[in-house]
């Protein structure tokens, strides 16, 4: 068996055998196949896709390419994963909240991918924070604190680590089989028994259409059922940044502000809905009403923020950031961006906003780029708002004035104003379970 024939088969649109899939997954994990051949195969998969059987085989082959954990954490190990978005900081809000309600959240996260931010990159903006944890330390923190968020262990799904980095720089991010196998291989290897997926849809999502997002959600739920794991998927909106803050330290600040009760808005709303699904999946709440009440009590009492502080400290970070967000990295240039015209904000190109943050240094253009944790921007306007000329549209946090000006131009180009009133962006679309798709009303 050789990679040339595997690439040729997929190039011609033929289904790969289980043996072929295991061969290239093993080669990716062991670095016995050159990156250029793996990149060629990724593009062939992106163009010709994979059927359900191939996707399931790829998921299991990637999961089995390294260690497979069976963690004893004193409860049902639950995980949440987002397909990626802009200003999507739900993990940093809901992980400590669910832990404060008795949940055991073991979250292995990735770094930024394409125009979307990475939870691990965000956490690393906290002084001293360690995200590369040995497996035993990771599980110990989950047992004692109730939650831990770390980068994927090199021993877990190593095939995914190789392919994930290549997808980010080869324009193969938006492939349903590659997304499904990447997400679920890590979850299965890490030992999560209950998994809640946040599948984004809209201009800032990997899957911009609702139809594609539901297709992706169903594919992951179906593979979970096949593997004996409890998986539900929430399809949520990404027509604009979920939170107002875009950038690593800025997003940590917003998560802390929510946990401290200082901020309301879409990020909090979606975090509470996802958290409620995690409590139900963990067997800690019988329905959404009870779960929401538990989460809100943890929020109001301050127990959620305290859990976040405990998690940060357990992972070597400076927990004082929960009391003083001024300890987070600050950009040298902080200034407002003023509106150049007036009208209702009718449309936001979320991908363009994510790329604007990436170009500022908040994300990677090449896989070895070093992220600047301090840069990004804070949106002051949302879809549906009326903007007058000269209003503050956002606050730029940049390395220098040239970077700030370039970001301002990109952000301005990403916003569409209309003389007619525009409806607010929708947050929640559907809940996908093994029993089917339930459309959500707001």
Assign 383 to helix, strand or coil: coil
Query: Are 303 and 342 in the same domain?
Result: no
**pLDDT at position 84 over 80:** no
| Residues paired with 185 in a beta bridge | none
Predicted local distance difference test score (pLDDT) of residue 129? 96
Averaging pLDDT over each range in 171-180, 183-192, 196-205, 291-300, which range is the top one? 291-300
Q: How far is CA 129 from CA 149, 316, 386, 435, in A?
A: 11, 5, 40, 40
Would residue 186 count as lying in a domain?
yes
**Is the domain of 241 the same as that of 378?**
no
Q: What values do phi and psi take at 163, rounded to 5?
A: -70, -35
Q: Share the mean pLDDT of the chain.
A: 92
Q: How many domains does the chain have?
A: 3
442 has pLDDT over 70: no
Of 192-196, 221-225, 405-409, which one has max mean pLDDT?
Answer: 405-409
Written as one string, the DSSP assignment of 94-129 is HHHHHHHTT-EEEEEE---BTTB--HHHHHTTSTT-
- Marked catalytic residue, from 10, 46, 80, 81: 81
For residue range 210-241, list pLDDT tens digits in order.
998 999 899 999 888 877 788 999 999 999 99
Contact 374, 357 (CB under 8 A): no
Better-predicted residue by pLDDT, 193 or 25: 25
> Per-residue pLDDT averaged across 42-47, rounded?
98
How does residue 117 score in pLDDT terms, banded at 50, 70 and 90?
A: low
Q: Count the helices and strands in the chain (H runs, E runs).
A: 16, 14
Q: What are phi and psi of 439, to 5 degrees?
A: -80, 135
pLDDT of residue 112: 60
Q: Does residue 113 register a pLDDT over 60?
A: no
The pLDDT score that the predictor gives to residue 70 is 78
Q: 120, 109 in Cβ contact below 8 A? A: yes
Per-residue confidence (pLDDT) for residue 368, from 0 to 100: 75
Tell me whether residue 271 is one of the annotated catalytic residues: no
Average pLDDT over residues 163-180: 90
Q: Are 126 and 175 part of one and the same domain? A: yes
The reply to whether 239 and 313 lie within a common domain is yes
Q: Which of 65, 82, 182, 282 is catalytic?
A: 182
Residue 349 sits in the same domain as residue 224? no
Range 57-67 average pLDDT: 93
Known catalytic residue at 167: yes
The pLDDT, as a whole number, for residue 419 is 97
Judge whether 90 and 197 are in contact, CB under 8 Å: no
d(CA 432, CA 214): 8
Query: Which one has a higher pLDDT value, 173 or 163?
Result: 163
**Is 354 contained in some domain?**
yes
Instruction: Look at 10-19, 304-313, 359-368 and tell me which has the smallest mean pLDDT.
Output: 359-368
**What is the pLDDT, as a whole number, of residue 116?**
58
Q: Residue 44: is its pLDDT beyond 60?
A: yes
| Paired sense of beta strands 77-82 and 104-109, if any | parallel
Across 48-57, 93-102, 153-162, the highest mean pLDDT is recorded for: 93-102
Verify that 244 and 101 share a domain, yes or no: yes
For 334-392, give the secondary structure using H, E and C: EEEEECCCCEEEEEECHHHHHHHHHHHHHCCCCCCCCCCCCCEEEECCCCCCEECCCCE
| Arithmetic mean of pLDDT, 60-73 | 88
Q: What integer pLDDT is reported at residue 317 of this predicted model?
A: 97
d(CA 321, CA 314): 14
- Domain containing residue 401: CATH number: 3.90.1170.30
pLDDT of 380 reads 97
Q: Which of 107, 167, 200, 229 is catalytic?
A: 167
Q: Which residue has the higher pLDDT, 20 or 70?
A: 20
Judge if 212 and 342 occupy the same domain.
no
* 220 and 275 together in one domain: yes
SS3 content of the chain, % helix, strand, coil (to 5): 45, 15, 35
CA–CA gap between residue 363 and residue 373 (Å, rounded) = 9
Rounded to two decimals, the pTM is: 0.87
- Domain membership of residue 144 (yes or no) is yes
Inter-CA distances, 409 with 80, 140, 349, 353, Å: 35, 47, 13, 11
Q: Which of 46, 115, 186, 268 is catalytic?
A: 186
**Nearest one of 372, 370, 364 to 329, comparing CA atoms:** 372
- Based on the residue annotation, tell me whether 335 is a catalytic residue of this protein: no
Q: 390 is in which domain, residue-wise? A: 331-418
288 and 407 within one domain: no
Q: Where residue 426 falls among pLDDT bands split at 50, 70, 90? A: very high
- Please check whether residues 173 and 229 belong to one and the same domain: yes
| CA distance linking residue 138 with residue 52, whole number of Å | 33
Pairing type for strands 194-201 and 77-82 reads: parallel
CATH of the domain at 320: 3.40.1030.10
Interval 261-289: pLDDT, tens? 999 999 999 999 999 999 999 999 999 99
| 79 or 111: which leads in pLDDT | 79
Per the model's pLDDT, the better-predicted residue between 12 and 133 turns out to be: 12
**What residues contact 368, with CB distance under 8 A and at least 6 apart?**
none
Q: Can you give the pLDDT at residue 111? A: 67
In this structure, are residues 279 and 291 in contact, taking their beta carbons and an 8 Å threshold?
yes
Identify the active-site residue in 88, 160, 198, 372: 160
Asked about 229 being catalytic, the answer comes back as: no
Shared domain for 222 and 278, answered yes or no, is yes
Residue with tokens 């502000």: 257
Q: Pick from 45-49, 191-195, 213-217, 352-356 the range whose average pLDDT is largest.
A: 45-49
Indicate whether 67 belongs to any domain. Answer: no
* Pairing assessment for the beta strands 376-379 and 245-246 based on DSSP bridges: antiparallel
| Rounded average pLDDT over 106-135 | 82
Q: What is the pLDDT of residue 153?
A: 72
User: Is 325's pLDDT higher than 80?
Assistant: yes
Model pLDDT, residue 115: 55
| Same structural domain, 313 and 338 | no
Single out the residue of 130, 38, 24, 122 nearest to residue 82, CA to CA.
122
Domain membership of residue 15 (yes or no) is yes
**Is 91 exposed, middle or buried (CB count within 10 Å of its CB: 0-12, 13-18, 19+)?**
buried
Residue 57 is assigned to a structural domain of this protein: no
81 is catalytic: yes
CATH, residue 7: 1.20.970.10
């Amino acid at each position: 068996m050789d990679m040339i024939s595997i690439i040729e088969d997929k190039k011609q649109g033929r289904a790969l055998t289980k043996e072929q899939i295991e061969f290239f997954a093993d080669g990716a994990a062991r670095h016995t196949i050159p990156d250029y051949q793996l990149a060629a195969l990724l593009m062939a998969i992106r163009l010709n896709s994979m059927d359900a059987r191939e996707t399931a085989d790829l998921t299991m082959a990637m999961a089995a390419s390294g260690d497979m954990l069976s963690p004893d954490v004193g409860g049902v190990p639950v995980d949440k994963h987002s397909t990626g978005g802009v200003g999507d900081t739900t993990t940093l809000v809901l992980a400590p909240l669910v832990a404060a309600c008795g949940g055991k959240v073991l979250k292995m996260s990735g770094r930024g991918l394409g125009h979307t931010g990475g939870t691990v990159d965000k956490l690393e903006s906290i002084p001293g924070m360690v995200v590369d944890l040995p497996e035993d330390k990771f599980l110990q923190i989950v047992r004692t604190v109730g939650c831990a968020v770390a980068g994927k262990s090199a021993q877990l799904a190593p095939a995914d680590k190789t392919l994930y980095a290549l997808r980010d720089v080869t324009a193969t991010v938006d492939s349903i089989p590659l997304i499904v196998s990447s997400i679920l291989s890590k979850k299965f290897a890490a030992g999560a028994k209950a998994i809640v997926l946040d599948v984004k849809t809209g201009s800032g999502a990997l899957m911009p259409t609702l139809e594609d997002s539901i297709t992706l959600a169903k594919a992951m739920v179906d593979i979970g059922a096949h593997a004996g794991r409890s998986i539900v998927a929430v399809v949520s909106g990404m027509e604009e940044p979920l939170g107002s803050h875009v950038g690593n330290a800025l997003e940590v600040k917003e998560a802390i502000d929510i946990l401290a009760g200082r901020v309301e808005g879409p990020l909090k709303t979606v975090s509470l809905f996802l958290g409620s699904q995690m409590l139900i999946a963990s067997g800690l709440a019988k329905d959404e009403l009870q779960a929401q009440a538990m989460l809100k009590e943890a929020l109001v009492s301050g127990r959620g923020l305290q859990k976040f502080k405990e998690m940060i400290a357990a992972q070597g970070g400076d927990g004082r950031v929960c009391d003083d967000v001024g300890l987070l990295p600050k950009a040298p240039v902080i200034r407002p961006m003023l509106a150049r015209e007036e009208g209702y904000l009718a449309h936001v190109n979320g991908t363009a906003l994510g790329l604007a943050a990436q170009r500022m240094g908040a994300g990677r253009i090449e896989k070895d780029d070093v992220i600047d944790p301090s840069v990004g921007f804070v949106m002051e306007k949302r879809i549906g708002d009326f903007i007058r000329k000269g209003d503050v549209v956002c606050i730029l946090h940049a390395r220098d004035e040239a970077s700030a000006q370039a970001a301002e131009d990109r952000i301005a180009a990403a916003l569409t104003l209309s003389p007619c009133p525009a409806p607010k962006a929708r947050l929640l679309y559907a809940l996908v379970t093994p029993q089917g798709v339930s459309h959500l009303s707001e």
